[in-house]
Amino acid sequence: MANKRPVQKANTPKAKVVQAVQAAPVTPVFPFSFRIKLIILAVLSFVLYADTFGNEYALDDGIVIEKNQYVQNGFGGIGKIMSTDAYDSYYKEMNAGQQLSGGRYRPLSEVIFAIEHAIFGESTGNSIAMQRHIFSVICYVLAILAIFFFLSKYLLAKIKYGEDMAFFATILFAIHPLHTEVVANVKSLDEILSILFICLTFIFSVKYIDTKNIRDLAIGLVSFFLSLLAKEYAITLFVLIPIVFYLLRNKNIGQALFATLPYYGVLFIYMILRGKAVGFNGHVATNEILDNPYLLATHTQKIATEIFVLGKYLWMLIVPYPLLSDYSYNMIAYRNFTDISVVFTILLYIGAGIWCLWLIYKRNVLAFAVLFYLFCLSLVSNLIMDIGATMGERLIFHSSLGFAILLSYGLFMLVKKWDLSIKRNFIFGITTVLVVICGYETMARNLQWKNDITLFTHDVTIGTNSIMLNGNAGARFIDMAQHSTDSVTRKHKLDTAIGYLQKSIILHKRSPYVSSYLNLGDAYYELQMPDSAEIYWKIVRAAYPDYPDLQRYFFLLGRLYLTKAGQYGGRHDFAAATREVYKAIAINPTDASLWYNLGGAYFTWGKYDSAYYAWNKTLQIDPNNAEAKKGLSALVPVKKK
């Protein structure tokens, strides 16, 4: 009888060799310890944005911080911040109702701004813009570290070269120039806090699955709640948390959903708070094209353009140049479904969706990257809900993490069969080139975000068809003119301002573009042309009679007419002088000082009856006007002569 071949046991020498080979550690592409990688990421992300520390406020910082009465109330305003729309204070100042569909409930960053105000104050002599910029960069650094920790220790932990992939993906995310708006604009702290606490939620939710330590669950739940208070993106975790459990911890669908129940409880509490603060109103109808960029589009054009924007987002993740602070109406032309770029985008995203389903079926962790990209992008796509904007660089901030993960994975798959030294040199080379190019663009863009003047006067040269950029550039040229001591330079800047403001009005096409009409009046006021200023300010008053500060504009206009009257009076042209005073009175008929000056002009001219009438009118408005009484007492003996 033939001898049977002995069965190979696990403890035989051959089996031990196999196990040793399988267990052999992979030589990393980036030959740094985990701690050194954390230090590199922290230093890199800090250095990239350290030049923002000298920046001032820009863009929406004024609305969210400087002119937000709840923030300015410090600790006393926190209650209002937690219970109202993010723009509630601004709406009240403008005598307006909610302007954006769905409302905006993002109290976490505003609470931080209020606390900062309570500690440091907000006066121009003690500006805390620098402190806020520093705090934003610190939060960005923490977010970068949290991203790397989640990717390396959880999402990519079981993949060959997983930590290297995580390191490269995090570097790519940290240096991406599209993020300059998020970090350089203080208001966008909400974006940074959102992704920071989203990552912490993922880390501690998975950690709790492993440890069953109630502390990990508590930290995960608190992180989730804070991510919801930071910005609406965290709502996507409703699906993403069970997906993470399914992909990373081999849970079936039922088990994954059951493990997510505590997080659903937190979401329920958040929805109650949000509902009380902003309600659950869906679409908010508005005829303001800056809040409704698809106002003039057909329904088909609207959908096609929204799809085109999805493709433009992806392109800008690959080629982030040039960068702009505004993509509102007329920056992106309406598209149709016959446009090849729209068709290509549709096919691309359909393919991504099918691929994602296959990845989920295979329990491939790349499914998370695709879903994170698609879910976060869907919230700002306008396809689900109108967001009041066509697109924005800050709006792709979250989705860019999914893009970075996929790109990193693709790179390492490309070189997986290469020799280690070649592989290492290639990836190091790509990393170095990207850091240099992206770092240069990021730091240059940071300087453009220094303040509204540097931002808008630069961006308008690129976004020539933007209503907002033309309007804001015009306003900033007026600011520069007001600070100019050279008369020629001052006039040139005012003329430039008028050109931009008039273009913004032409582009607007709808109801009066209030800010541009007001600023046009301001430019003509600075040019000592009150008749022209009055034309534009009257347009605003006719459309919005309760517009804030409108009365102050007309008061200043009356004073300008009065100044011109004095100039005519100095040349003894009393007819012209009284004509200018009457223009002032027509604007502010209840201003006693104007009637008094009219009386003075008539008195000097020798029109004593008219002077008598004017000074009596002064006393009707202001019975205690001592100057008018003195004028009348001086007038009686003159009239007797």
Q: Where are the domains of the chain?
A: 451-548, 561-641
Burial of 173 (0-12, 13-18, 19+ CB in 10 A): buried
pLDDT of 612 = 86
Q: How far is CA 129 from the centre of its chain?
A: 16
Joined together, the tokens standing for residue 249 give 């911890």
Evaluate whether 451-548 and 561-641 have a shared fold: yes
Between CA 610 and CA 598 the distance in angstroms is 9
CA distance 433 to 422: 16
* Burial of 274 per CB tally in 10 Å (0-12, 13-18, 19+): buried
| pLDDT score, position 285 | 62
State which residues of the chain have pLDDT below 50.
1-23, 125, 640-641
| Residue that is written with structure tokens 């353009």 in the block | 305
Work out whether the CA dihedral 514, 515, 516, 521 comes out positive or negative.
positive
Neighbouring residues of 259: CB distance < 8 A, sequence distance ≥ 6? 209, 242, 245, 251
Give the C-alpha separation, 70 to 106, whole Å. Answer: 13
Enclosing H/E stretch for 427: helix 420-448
Q: Find all residues with CB under 8 Å of 493, minimum gap 6, and list them.
A: 477, 478, 480, 481, 484
pLDDT for 252 equals 92
Burial of 641 by CB count in 10 Å (0-12 exposed, 13-18 middle, 19+ buried)?
A: exposed
Please choose, from the candidates 373, 439, 446, the residue with its C-alpha nearest in 3D space to the C-alpha of residue 404: 373
Nearest to 183 by CA among 44, 87, 68: 44
Residue with tokens 């409704």: 292
The span from the first CA to the last CA of the chain, in angstroms, equals 156
User: What length is written for the chain?
Assistant: 641
- Class in CATH terms, 561-641: mainly alpha
Tell me the C-alpha distance between 348 and 403, whole Å: 14
CA pair distance 71, 275, nearest whole angstrom: 21
3-state secondary structure of 216: helix
* Residue 6, pLDDT score: 44
Longest dimension (CA), the chain: 156
In contact, 366 and 359? CB cutoff 8 Å: yes
| Residue 374: per-residue pLDDT | 97
Q: Which helix H or strand E contains 452, and what residues bound it?
A: helix 452-459
Query: How many CB atoms are closer than 10 A to CB 50?
Result: 14
pLDDT at 123: 58
Q: Quote the radius of gyration of the chain (alpha carbons, Å).
A: 32
Q: How far apart are CA 581 and CA 595, in angstroms?
A: 8
Taking the C-alpha atoms of residue 207 and residue 532, their distance in angstroms, rounded to an integer, is: 67
A 10 A CB-CB count for 17 gives 10
E strands, 441-552, are none
Is-cis flag, bond preceding 545, omega within 30?
no
For residue 605, the model assigns a pLDDT of 87
User: Which amino acid appears at position 153 of this protein?
Assistant: K
In the prediction, which pLDDT does 15 show?
41
Q: What are 632's two structure tokens?
A: 């009348």
Check if CATH label 3.90.730.10 holds for domain 451-548: no
**Tokens 């330079």 correspond to what residue?**
489
| Residues 482, 604: Cα–Cα separation, whole Å | 34
How many whole angstroms separate alpha carbon 583 and alpha carbon 37?
71
d(CA 102, CA 235) in angstroms, rounded, equals 14
Distance CA 474, CA 516 (A): 8
CA nearest neighbour of 167 among 320, 28, 318, 24: 28
